[in-house]
Amino acid sequence: MSGLAVACRRVVHIYRASDAGDGGAGDIVALAGVDLSISPGEMLALVGPSGSGKSTLISLLAGLMRPSAGRVNIGTYDMGKLSDSEISRLRGTEIGVVLQGAARNLLPYADLHRNIWLAQRRAARTSGIQLDDPDRILDLVGLGGRGRAKIGELAPGARQRAALAVGIAAGPGLLLVDEPTSQLDTHGRDEVLAALETVNTERATTIVVVTHDAEVGARLGRAVTIRDGRVGAEGRDGQDFAVVAGDGTVQLPPEVLGVYPPGTLFTVDHEDGTVSLVAGGAHAALAPPHASGVVPD
Amino acid sequence: MTRLVWLMLRNRWTQAVTLAVLALVATAAAVAGPAYLGAVDRAVVDREVRAATPMERGMSVSNSVKKEQGDIGDSAPDFFEIGAALIGMPDFTPVFSVDLPTLGVEKSPTSASRLVYRQDVCAHLVMVRGRCLIGGAEVVIGQRTAGRLGITPGVSVTIRFAELDPRTLVYVPAGAPFTLTVVGVYRVSDPGAPYWGSHGYFELDASGFRAEPVFTDRGAIGTLDHNAEDDTVDVLGDPAAFAPDRLPALRAELAEVNGRVDGLGGRQISVSTGIPKLLDRIDRERKVAHELVPVAGVPLVALACFVIFLAVGYGTGDRRFELGLVALRGAGRLTRWLLASGEYLIAIVIGAILGYPVGLAAMAALASLRLDGAGPTSGALPYALVAGVGAVLAALLAQRRELFTPVADLLRRVVGGGRGWRSLAVEVVVVLLAVVAAVQLRVANGQLAGVGMLVPALVILAVALLGARAVVPLASRYGARALRRGRMGGALAALQLGRRPGAHRLFVLLVVAVALLGFATTAFGVAARARAAQAEVASGAVRVVTVRPVTRLKLLNATRAADPAGRYAMAVVNGASGAPGDPPQLAVDTTRLATAAIWQPGFGGPGPRHLSALLRPGLPDPTAFRANAIELDVTSDDQARAVDVHLVVVLAPMSGGSPLTEDLGRLFPGDQRMITQVDCASGCRLVGFGAVNSGSGGFGLRVTVRQIRTGEPAGQVMPAATLAAPSSWLPQVPASIDLSGDTDGLHLYYHSHSGTPADGWISPADRPARLPVAATTALKSGSSLVGLDGRGTPVTEVARVDGLPRLGSCGVLVDLEYADRAASDAGTGEVEQVWLGPAAPPDVLARLRAQGLVVTGDSRVAQLRSELDGQGPALALWFHLLTAGLAVLLAAGGSWLVAAVDRDGRAGDLGALRVQGVSRSAAGRAGLWGYLVVVLAAALVGLVAAAVAWLVAGTEIPMFVNQAVPWPAPRWPTPGTVVGSCGIAVAILAGVALVAAYDLRRRVRRYGQLGTGRD
């Protein structure tokens, strides 16, 4: 299966206090209007601090939750319009999910073959899907010949790749991976990233990885920073960009925000492809007198 | 899929095994109820059939044949054929017999012998000399008769058929002589064997010797010239005839036989049987057992299902993430369900299948221990299936939440612990159901039927739920407070109960288990005490010897002679049945009340010694004499001419012989000397004398008794002054006689209105004018009771007691000696006994026999207690105890499973807290008390629940089939019984908690080491 495109338009997600189940104090806005487009076969990293909304976004992409507002499209599917069973089928065939923590993706008492078999079960019953042999999948993630191994027998890096194997077992067009390298050493991390790249290369699978690790983001080519529930910035090919959201907003980088706190007034000048923010107005006294920000076109 | 389920099963094999054991217990419990009931049925039937009289185990079809009816002789075979056809019941063996009176064997020309033909008699006789019957004109004679008459085998005896002369009540010859040869001398090894039926062939005579019929062949009787005979077909039931499942059919067959006999019309055929009485007794016992066993069995099955529900719920909760993972891979509902339930269902099905034979085997073992080997019956399979299905449903119900939870929620570690409205609704329904059931139990007048059958369990469950509602928040509050005050260990332990999802269910389980045990123990203990008290009260004494009735005086004298010191033996006469509404009476020699009778503490009143003093106020000696004749000098007025009034004197031989009632002749006007010869050389007591109108109606008459003398040797029966004193005499009906006295003697003015003998009766004042009685209630008839002579006797209540031996909480006690003096007949009692106290020597029966008493029965309080212990209610309560024990084991297994499921999570929590600085001791206390506090709180609430259930339903637990005497059962058991049993339960549950806590501590320590290493 070729990669699936992903499109998020002004996606909002709010955790209700009752949903949280912890008697929390009020609702929590996890995503506050995310706009994001991912091309088929693209590899993308979602980066950002804890609580920024990365995992929420990946849960929405996986269909584990429904957005409170906005649209999420995976390929031709509008996730908001699918029934639970359709989403379940989608997860069994076209969307692979690898949860944070390798062991959480695997049945510990079953070997790798059995885990892959379980992940392929739904797709195997769907006509028109050609499934790879489990050994072939394991080869793909660098675990060839380990099909009979139990989870407990694998090293952390191998375990994470086993989780990847399960995630791609059904041959999905979109692979969502949450923090695949968070508890790995450099060697393990490289193995996992290599596996991801192999999958992407050989299957043209669209891969979205949630990570704290900026280096991982850099390796994947495109890194979208989620900040306060929005797309705060995007890095491509080693260069960082601010992103204009669907409602026209642009998030300032944290270092700029440190100088110009919320409430600071700017005038916006646009000339010859250059946008200038000039501090001033009633609160200008609170800000440095000659600050300006420039956003390339 | 199968492979995956197998892997899951293998991975969590301890949970699977525990679950299988729980299912096993559920099925075994379901099987155990009906299986135990079947065993109880058989035990009840076996015991009742064993204890039944021959009449109750069989049936007699009798035909009294007269010659004038033209069906003697040749008709007998017809009758036998008819009888056999009439009966024709399977598992009943017919025995034909012919019985007629004959003269000629005994030397006395008027002493009749029973000539009996009884089918297959030789198999039941032991030939002492000679041989048994072969055929022809042969007879066999009893050993004692042969010895007494000097008859040996080979001797010929000539007999004649005899008839009873209705005028003289003496047998007279009524047939031609017929000579028979005595071919053998027999003795009978078991005169009470069912074979002999209820014909009384070997009854004891007045001398205490057994009668011995003359047995002969059927042909001989046919040859004998006779004009009347009693033909009988006895059918004796084999044990198989009384198989529990045959009893309804047996009733129908009896009805059919009665119908056939009725259909014969004209013939003198009668059917007599005690089988219906036996069946009624069996039915009553079975009914009680069938009421009681489900009271324990149903809750146990429900509890087992609840434990399965709890265990599966905990287990599934622990697998939430795993189930979420399966759902995450897009598995359909069927796959999710199979993977979620598969391992549980396999374990449950295996356990349920094993539970059937295990339940039967356990009941077989219990039956062999408690039911004299009566094994359980099969036929419990449907119950096993129901329990198995119940266990499966419980498991599925426990998983419903996880099966319908969205994937995202399953993947979250924190589980919503809120007890929603559904739990509240279920609890409200249970409480309401308990209230309704309790009310129904009361309204239905204590019938353990319908929902009422489940009242104890429902009440216990309701209290457990309410207790959980109260205790869980309390624990939560305490935990929060302890946390604020820095008492980390206590806080974490309390919060484990207060906030752990499902902790309240574990709490409810433990409460129910402890309460079921408390209730069962209470029921068992109270019933045991009640049976002991009932046996003691109903028996009256440690040992009760029934004797062939003799005069009351003889009984009294003989008993006193056998035990001169009054240390153990007491003469007892069961009083005549009084007027309607009067309580039953008992006349005992109260001088021995304290040493011979069992005096219950609950009897109250003044106590046996003081009671004896009250019932026997000081009195003069009886008016007695030794002579061969008694003479009365009397003077009657002219009214004697108009009426036919006789003077009758009643004397009681001091030896205890039959009373002497002598008619002194008719009273005529003027002076008369009335003499009668009496056999009073050994001494007689003057019971009294009376004017008896031979005609009808009342009469008026004045009679002066001038002297009462004896003849041979001559003397005074009483001095003249004593005779003339009205205070020396007591008229039976004071209103009918006026007494006065002067130097002429005693003047009697009779003005009888009814003309009954009592009107003209006076007796010496050797007793109180009013017989002292001790009563349990106020006498309805006021100041009079029916005396031992069956006549009204003035009485006075001298003591009020709460209970009396033999009579229980309703009765009247009198002194036998005084009651005998108050009676006008000096006769025999209906049932006469000698009660023996614990000090009775081993040869006491020989001592009684030496005094002329013929012992016909001998029972002990231990026997009665044993009988009560063997009855349906007692046997059913054993099942209660067993199921309660199983309930505790179930609870222990359930809590172990919960702890096993919980421990990884808890170890992780406590380990994490250790890493964050919580001290080892605090973590240890949290681990230990997290389980223990649940057990201890549940034990406390469980005892309360048991007490509440007992208060509500305890009095409705049947403890006897038929209470022989009214005597209230104790309300509560001895404290030690309940505390002991519940202590064991708590020890078991606490043991599980301690082991779980130890295991948890070990895991926490390991976790802490891992954490340290990582850091």
Q: DSSP letter string over B902-943? A: HHHHHHHHHHHHHHTT--HHHHHHHHHHHHHHHHHHHHHHHH
- Shortest CA gap A119–chain B (Å): 5
For B637-736, list the strands marked E by DSSP. 645-653, 660-666, 670-693, 699-711, 715-716, 729-731
Confidence at residue B416, expressed as pLDDT on a 0 to 100 scale: 54
> Is B331 in contact with A121 (Cβ distance < 8 A)?
yes
User: Which residue in chain A is spatially nearest to B334 when comparing CA positions?
Assistant: A122
- In angstroms, the CA B972 to CA B974 distance is 7
Assign B652 a pLDDT band (cuts: 50, 70, 90). Answer: confident
Angle (deg, nearest 10), helices B320-328 and B333-370? 150
* Cβ under 8 Å to B: A residues 106-135: 107-110, 114, 118-119, 121-123
Q: What would the mean pLDDT of B132-142 be, rounded to a whole number?
A: 89
Which one of A91, A105, A117, A151 makes the best mutation probe of the B interface by having the most chain B beta carbons within 10 Å?
A: A91
The bridge status of strand A206-211 relative to strand A174-178 is parallel
Distance between CA atoms of residues B438 and B457, nearest Å: 11
Considering Cα of B189, then B193, then B196, then B202, what sign does the dihedral take?
Answer: positive
Tell me: pLDDT of A184 over 70.
yes
CA distance A78 to chain B (A): 18
Q: Which residue's entry shows tokens 């005992």?
A: B588
Q: What's the token pair of residue B48? A: 């009742």
What is the rounded distance in angstroms from the CA atom of residue A228 to the CA atom of residue A59? 17
Separation of first and last alpha carbons in chain A: 36
pLDDT band at A295 (very low <50, low <70, confident <90, very high): very low
Residues 6+ apart with CB under 8 A from B486: none
Residue of chain A minimizing CA distance to B410: A64
Measured CA to CA, the distance from residue B497 to residue A276 in angstroms comes to 62
List, for residues B433-487, the tens digit of each pLDDT value.
888 888 877 776 656 666 667 788 889 999 999 998 888 888 888 888 888 887 8
Q: For residue B320, give both structure tokens.
A: 């939430």
pTM greater than the 0.80 cutoff: no
| Tens-place pLDDT, residues B599-612 | 998 998 898 999 99
The Cα B128–Cα B142 span in angstroms is 9
CA separation, residue A62 to residues A84, A96, A136 (Å): 12, 8, 25
Sign of CA dihedral B423, B429, B435, B437: negative
Shortest Cα distance from A226 to chain B (angstroms)? 21
Q: Do A64 and B330 touch (CB under 8 A)?
A: no
What distance in Å separates the CA atoms of residue B266 and residue B522, rounded to the nearest whole number? 60
> Is B575:B814 a contact under the CB 8 Å cutoff?
yes
Residue B246, both tokens: 């045959």
Helices (H), B485-540: 488-499, 503-539
**DSSP states of B193-224:** -GGGTTS-TT-B-TTSPBP-PEEE-HHHHHHS
Q: How would residue B291 be classed by pLDDT, with cut points 50, 70 and 90?
A: confident
For residue B24, how far is the Cα from the chain centroid?
A: 35
pLDDT band at residue B578, thresholds of 50, 70 and 90? low
**Farthest-apart Cα atoms in chain B, separation:** 136
Per-residue pLDDT tens over the stretch B199-233? 889 887 766 678 899 999 988 888 888 888 888 88
- State the nearest Cα–Cα gap between B9 and chain A, in angstroms: 10
**Cross-strand pairs, B182:** B139
Whole-number mean pLDDT of chain B?
84
Above 0.90 for ipTM, yes or no?
A: no
Tokens of B299: 């809750």
Cβ–Cβ < 8 Å for A30, A14: yes
Q: Report the pLDDT averaged over residues B577-587.
A: 77
The answer to whether the CB atoms of A64 and B407 lie below 8 A apart is: yes
Which residues 6+ apart lie within 8 Å of B202 measured at CB?
A: B188, B191, B196, B210, B211, B212, B213
Top pLDDT among A256 and B606 is at B606
pLDDT for B760 beyond 50: yes
CB pair distance less than 8 Å for A89 and B331 = no
Cβ within 8 Å, pair B4-A104 = no
Count the Cβ atoms, other than its own, within 10 Å of residue B568: 22
Cβ-defined contact of B408 to A65 (cutoff 8 Å): yes
